[in-house]
Structure 1
Amino acid sequence: MEFTGFPTAALDFYDDLEVDNTKSFWEAHKHVYAESVRAPMVALTDALAAEFGTAKVFRPYRDVRFAKDKTPYKTHQGAFVAVGPASGWYVEVAAPGVRVGGGVYEASGERLAALREAMADDKAGPALERILRDLERSGFEISGQRLKTVPRGYDKDHPRIELLRMRTVLAGRSYGFEPFVHTPELLDRVRQDWRRMRPLVNWLAEHVTG
């Protein structure tokens, strides 16, 4: 299937799902999900696979076993291309539109220790700072989980202490519901932004292990 954009029906579907997140709504509209959400997402990620790798298109069902919120369905459709432990590229469609991202979304134990060791390194750390600075200048939002305190084992006067407080490192850009998200142009936009995030993804793939 050739990617032609996400139809307006995809965004409308999630608008309605946020209001009526029930099995009865889903059963009545699952054909809209299949045709207007999942099929275009598969087509988009298939078109990107030769350059970036095969994506995991996430299931629409929420794991509610340990959640206070028992609504059964996710209010977005995401897809992720992994290049290392919990790191890679991301694309999502939801009621607010389409957005892209890249980075490491989970780090703990050995993985977090490796991330901080690289951040503290006098070569790898400044390289990451330059990558994040360049992405910000290109219009990406830099985010991630941050410690309010100093990470154990590091001095509060470390020159990259703000970087070391980050437990995850993410770059992202929202396209919202700009007209191009409904056209084949979206494929080029995602491809270009994933390429712009390649230095970050490559840095994480090299330094985040475990």
Structure 2
Amino acid sequence: GWFEANKTRYQEDILAHAPAFVEALGRRLQAGISPGIVFDTRNNGAGSMMRIYRDTRFSRDKTPYKTNVAFVFWEGPNKKMENPSFGFQFGTFGAGLYGGVFGFTNELRDKYRAAVIDAKTGPALEEALAAVRAAGDYTIEGEQAKRVPAGFDAEHARADLLRYKGLYASSPQFDIQAVTTPDLVEICYEHCRNMAPLQQWLVAVDRA
């Protein structure tokens, strides 16, 4: 297949440089946003760089490889993808970042809902989302339930926020050519800093 024919290019052009990128961006995030952000330079799937191989065991789509390269920098004691995190990915679509949580664990979901209706942390979330949107062409995303969860007031001022099953910000996409420039770490950091109000709010809720 195509990947087998180009595997050496993948190893030399991407894998070989990934640890240095992870280290540089990870340290930048720790210094500029939170010292609690975790990164891991291993390339075997256990670290910040995500595996290129797809898990096809429970999927109808048996395509063996992903078509993007992705990295994650997380903050919290849980499995890496269960924590509030920043992520960077690039592929044929271009490049972009996110900040937040794709899918809440049951524990974080319960903490999140309690925080949404809280008189202090609820308005703080609204302020965080407003700050992210005000920083540029960022979008707030996440799967939502059709209804407000049972036991919560459907007329609550923040009822829409209660429906989220995960909550994250996405950066505007940028040209993939930036991936090959010395500016990449700083570009990624600036996007993460702009999305940090949401990511840091989620970290605080997760720790509560």
Q: 1:51 aligns with which of 28, 52, 77?
A: 28
Percent of pairs with identical residues: 33
1:43-122 correspondence to structure 2 within 5 Å? 43-52=20-29, 53-55=38-40, 56-84=48-76, 85=78, 86=82, 87-122=84-119
1:194 alignment partner, SS class: helix
**AA in 1 matched with 2:201:** W
CA distance in 2, matches of 1:126, 1:135: 14
Q: What is the total number of aligned residue pairs between the two structures?
A: 187
CA RMSD across the alignment: 1.8
**AA in 1 matched with 2:60:** K
CA distance in 2, matches of 1:80, 1:104: 11
Runs of 4+ in 1 over 4 A off after TM superposition: none
CA distance in 2, matches of 1:37, 1:94: 12
Farther off after superposition, 153-162 or 105-114: 105-114
Q: 1:127 aligns with which of 124, 130, 140?
A: 124
Q: What's the counterpart of residue 31 of structure 1?
A: 8
Structure 1 residues 178 and 167: CA distance shift in structure 2, 3 A: same
CA distance in 2, matches of 1:202, 1:182: 29
Shift of 1:179: 4.4
Determine if contact 2:141/2:168 at 8 Å carries over to the other structure.
yes
TM-score for the superposition, normalised by structure 2:
0.83
1:73 alignment partner, SS class: coil
Shift of 1:35: 2.4
Determine if contact 1:100/1:190 at 8 Å carries over to the other structure.
yes
Q: What's the counterpart of residue 163 of structure 1?
A: 161
Residue by residue over 1:19-62, the C-alpha shift from the partner in whole angstroms, topping out at 9 and shown as x without a partner, is xxxxx222110112122333344332211122333141111101
CA distance in 2, matches of 1:153, 1:118: 15
Structure 1: 5+ residue runs without aligned partners? Answer: 1-23
**AA in 2 matched with 1:180:** A
Determine if contact 2:129/2:140 at 8 Å carries over to the other structure.
yes
Determine if contact 1:81/1:89 at 8 Å carries over to the other structure.
yes
